[in-house]
Structure 1
Amino acid sequence: MPRNKTSLIQKIASKAYETFTNCSSAAIEENKVFVDNQAALVSLLSGVRAADLKIAPPKKASTSSPQPPSAPPVTYMHICETDVFSMGVFLLKPGASIPLHDHPGMHGMLKVLYGKVNIRCYDKLDEAEGDSERQFDPPLLPFQRVDVRRAMLRSSGQFSEQSGPCILCPLKDNLHEIDAVDGPSAFLDILAPPYDPDDGRDCHYYKVLQTAGKKLEQSIEDEAWLLEVPQPEDFWCGGEPYPGPEVSV
């Protein structure tokens, strides 16, 4: 009797565990073992499709049965989680966005499974002389100034199922926002290590500020000022079952 063939998502999980075990952000580009493992993981992720996880774009809803207002704009399919990494699928409804947020000290990999998304990534910058006197429009309240961070728009691009994965690093492209484009979308998401508020890895949300008297031109070379904010009221994430092959790590 032939042996069961290892699923692609199992191969991805096994390689993710190997890649991110004992991985630190220090001198990561000089760690040849990590770089080689990450390249192999990127190669595996580049080949994954929605059908490999037994998911498909939702059928168009009829006008006679619209979505209830309480339906979450984003849902999540949990696949697996270890101390080393977590993996799951985010599904965005048409027009939905995952607001600008961070992954403190974490690596991330996103691979679109269907639809299209725009991803904008920022890097935090060190405080510069004069930042504390900068004026914003609308003006900030005094207590808000401690939550302002100078940043740079590192990258902005559109991703589809034909695209390779978007790579997020602990120190580069770590802050990002994701918008569904022209319909629903879904992407496979790997975070390493997983969120853990008790270990300093909690999610923080931000909004881009306008400087007084000048609009921010959003190009890759631009600096921006980000204000840490509570989770936006119009964003929340529901859950739904993962229908794909079982994964063990």
Structure 2
Amino acid sequence: MLAGSHLLLSLSSSSRADGMKPADVGLHPNLPFFHDVKGTPPVTYLHLHQCRKFSIGIFCLPRAAVIPLHNHPGMTVFSKLLFGSMHIRSFDWVDSSEQIRSSNGACLAKLNTDSVMNAPCETSILYPAAGGNMHCFTAVTPCAVLDVLGPPYDGPEGRDCKYYTEASCSSFPGDATASAAPGDNDRYAWLEEMQGKPDDFNVRGEEYKGPKIVGY
């Protein structure tokens, strides 16, 4: 992955990212944006690269920081936890072609992942309609995750990031969930789209100072 002080990345296989270490992108847990802070912990975003085909960035989270439930419409995402422990809760729509809606407009989703990931670990992959396209990250310890998104977010192209609130299946009694989730309501939830991003989601950009990207 490294050539001298240069970083080489490829989207051809998740195995390319599996061997990455924090030092490969100039990170270590003692950096200031991994320290505990008073109030809502901010998330720091380091932007590495973007082109028409994909984007690369790193999210740095102090303990208890949260990236709220959001989606990646029409995108494939490679996520590599570089260090630390992170709780991941993710969903996919029950029917991506014709979403099942509640009386208030929320859509029915099926739980994909609800577990803690500990570094070192394999790269996870999510797809437009599978693998947990809508997910929430919560930092159990200070941690950093590298994301490769292909294609990148692009509002005019219909790939705008949306945030969601989650409600249990029992929140809307009488809605048609029994046939979609018979006897397994714990694995399903109603997701309601928010207007804009959550008010308590504090994300800030910082300059990436790791090895220069020279190819992919």
For Structure 1 versus Structure 2, the TM-score category normalised by the shorter chain is: 0.7 to 0.9
Residue 84 of structure 2 corresponds to which residue in structure 1? 115
Residue 54 and residue 7 in structure 1: after superposition, are their counterparts in 2 closer, same or farther (change >3 A)?
same
Native 8 Å contact 1:154 1:220 kept in 2: no
Native 8 Å contact 1:122 1:152 kept in 2: yes
Higher deviation after alignment, 157-166 or 171-180: 157-166
Alpha-carbon shift at residue 43 of structure 1 (Å):
1.2
**Whole-Å separation in 2 of the counterparts to 1:241 and 1:163:** 26
The sequence identity of aligned pairs, in percent, is 35
Tell me which amino acid in the other structure corresponds to 2:188.
E
Over the aligned positions, Cα root-mean-square deviation in angstroms equals 2.9
Residue 205 of structure 2 corresponds to which residue in structure 1? 239
Residue 60 and residue 75 in structure 1: after superposition, are their counterparts in 2 closer, same or farther (change >3 A)?
closer
The list of structure 1 runs, each at least 4 consecutive aligned residues, that deviate by more than 4 angstroms after superposition, is none
**Whole-Å separation in 2 of the counterparts to 1:78 and 1:168:** 20
**Other structure's SS at 2:213 match:** coil
Alpha-carbon shift at residue 120 of structure 1 (Å):
1.5
**Whole-Å separation in 1 of the counterparts to 2:172 and 2:85:** 35
Native 8 Å contact 2:77 2:148 kept in 1: yes
Match for 1:94 among 49, 59, 63? 63
Residue 203 of structure 1 corresponds to which residue in structure 2? 161
Alpha-carbon shift at residue 58 of structure 1 (Å):
2.6
Residue 81 and residue 59 in structure 1: after superposition, are their counterparts in 2 closer, same or farther (change >3 A)?
closer
Please tell me whether residue 186 in structure 1 is matched to residue 144 in structure 2: yes
Please tell me whether residue 6 in structure 1 is matched to residue 3 in structure 2: yes
Specify every segment of 5 or more residues in structure 2 that has no aligned partner in the other structure, as ranges: 174-183
Residue 26 of structure 1 corresponds to which residue in structure 2? none
Residue 9 and residue 158 in structure 1: after superposition, are their counterparts in 2 closer, same or farther (change >3 A)?
farther
**Whole-Å separation in 1 of the counterparts to 2:6 and 2:146:** 10
Instruction: Please list the CA deviations of residues 138-162 of structure 1 after superposition, one character each: whole Å capped at 9, or x if unmatched.
Output: xxxxxxx23x111000122322221
Residue 84 and residue 167 in structure 1: after superposition, are their counterparts in 2 closer, same or farther (change >3 A)?
same
Residue 122 of structure 2 corresponds to which residue in structure 1? 164
TM-score where L is the length of structure 2: 0.81
**Whole-Å separation in 2 of the counterparts to 1:76 and 1:123:** 25
Native 8 Å contact 1:122 1:151 kept in 2: yes
Higher helix residue share: 1
Instruction: Please list the CA deviations of residues 167-223 of structure 1 after superposition, one character each: whole Å capped at 9, or x if unmatched.
Output: 111111111111101x21111111111100010000001111132499xxxx89711
**Whole-Å separation in 2 of the counterparts to 1:220 and 1:11:** 44
Residue 55 of structure 1 corresponds to which residue in structure 2? 27
Residue 189 of structure 2 corresponds to which residue in structure 1? 224
**Other structure's SS at 2:129 match:** coil
Residue 161 and residue 199 in structure 1: after superposition, are their counterparts in 2 closer, same or farther (change >3 A)?
same
Residue 239 and residue 224 in structure 1: after superposition, are their counterparts in 2 closer, same or farther (change >3 A)?
same
**Whole-Å separation in 1 of the counterparts to 2:4 and 2:99:** 50
Alpha-carbon shift at residue 72 of structure 1 (Å):
6.0
Specify every segment of 5 or more residues in structure 1 that has no aligned partner in the other structure, as ranges: 17-36, 134-144
